[in-house]
Amino acid sequence: MFGDRPIFGNAEYKIDSKGRLYIPKFSYVEPDDELIIQKGEGNYYVIINWSKIKKEIEQLEKENKKDKIELITHSIVSLVKVDKMRRIIFQPHESFTIDRTVFMHGNYDSIQIFPSKKDYEEHIERLKKNL
């Protein structure tokens, strides 16, 4: 299942004309996995297992942390189901055009999706500057 084991690796895949995107094997994704697509802080998206987000929301509900629940739910772009070919429907904003190759980075329990490898590298440089 997606994210059951640490997700490490990089890959480039093309979004096809129907908006489908392959999920890399290094994510341990399986058909019928339910994934959340969230907007990251910057020009990227994050894919994470829906069951993980659901558990986090349930815990926050027990702790009555409605503001944190709202932050999580407002960042969700869509809930998608993985097909038998390890693909999802990915409908991002205009900088991620259809028929375009995207750069994916495994980030422990999620995958970050950038419009290009250059965008990913610029993101890393910004993070280093903020340390």
pLDDT tens for residues 76-103? 989 999 999 999 998 877 666 666 889 9
Question: What is the rounded CA–CA span in Å between residue 57 and residue 52?
Answer: 9
Residues 15-72 have pLDDT tens digits of 988 889 999 999 999 999 999 999 888 889 999 999 999 999 999 999 999 999 999 8
- Mean pLDDT throughout 5-16? 93
Residues 104-120 have pLDDT tens digits of 999 999 999 999 899 99
Q: Which amino acid is at 127?
A: L
The pLDDT assigned to 100 comes to 85
Torsion (CA) 61, 43, 107, 83 in degrees, nearest 10: 80
Angle between helices 50-62 and 66-75 (to 10 degrees): 160
The pLDDT assigned to 28 comes to 93
The pLDDT assigned to 13 comes to 93
